[in-house]
Structure 1
Amino acid sequence: MTDNRRLAAIAGLALTLGACAGPAIPHPSARPPAAPPPTAVRPVQNNALIGSSVDAVGRMFGKPRLDVTEGAGRKLQFAGSRCVLDIYFYAPRAGANPVATHVDARAPDGRNAEVNSCAEALRR
């Protein structure tokens, strides 16, 4: 076997073995980074529904068209002929009851609507 062939064979073997290597195994004393502490949910909107409980919203608008829970959040959707209102609820801190922290309003055709006007139109 010539030197060039021998070098090519060794290089091919090295590439093959290198492809089989997995990720480095962490040292047993290495710890995963600590999870950040939970943060309080702070509302950033200013409308009449922010801070309302699920029960209070139910008394205002009746039964929602949609009631969706995902993770720590919950969305109630109310709809009428003039608009659709989505109200998102999160607990302000661990162990607290969820309150409305975000509200979206839109016309039936998808255009944005003013939240307080839509809420007034949907009240029972």
Structure 2
Amino acid sequence: MRRLTPALVMVLAACSTIPKTTPIPVATKPSPRPSGELVGLTVHDLGQRFGQPQFQVQEGPGTKLQWAGGGCVLDVYLYPPASGQGAVRVTYADARRPSGADIDVRSCLSLMGR
């Protein structure tokens, strides 16, 4: 029995170790996804095309603008240039159905009539 005790303690100790985890990196910008013709547009360009956004929020250095219509919701993210000089521009756009289901940006633009 004495011989089993140290072995049993070591087995139990090995089972109780906490696994090391890798921290999840926090992104400052959404990861790039195809968003078609909207990338590179300014706030002025978007206003000319879609009118006043229904929702606007500052998220760190970026701005999120949102429009909805035709059965879809369009989210557009604008960030300043890396140089810090010049107008903020669209770097990412995403679309979804009001239910939350994914839809591609081009289909959403078509549904919105834009």
TM-score scaled by length of structure 1? 0.60
Question: Equivalent pairs: percent with the same residue?
Answer: 40
Which of these two proteins has the greater Rg computed from alpha carbons?
Answer: 1
Shift of 1:120: 2.7
**CA root-mean-square deviation:** 1.9
Structure 1's consecutive aligned runs of 4 or more residues displaced over 2 angstroms after TM superposition are: 43-46, 120-124
Shift of 1:81: 3.5
Alignment of 1:20-39 (within 5 A): none
Give yes or no for contact 1:104–1:115 (8 Å, CA) kept in 2: yes
Q: Secondary structure of 1:48's partner?
A: helix
**1:116 aligned partner, one-letter code:** R
Shift of 1:108: 1.0
Distance 1:107 1:45, change over 3 A: same
Matched residue, 1:44 = 32
* Residue deviations 1:55-79 (CA, integer Å, cap 9, x gap): 1011111111101112210000000
Does 2:92 correspond to 1:92? no
Q: Secondary structure of 2:102's partner?
A: coil
Matched residue, 1:101 = 91
Matching residue within 78, 94, 116 for 2:106: 116
Matching residue within 45, 69, 73 for 1:80: 69
Distance 1:99 1:58 in 2: 13
Distance 2:87 2:33 in 1: 19
Distance 1:77 1:48 in 2: 16
Count matched residues: 83
* Residue deviations 1:12-55 (CA, integer Å, cap 9, x gap): xxxxxxxxxxxxxxxxxxxxxxxxxxxxx8x8343110111111
Any unmatched runs of 5+ in structure 2?
1-28
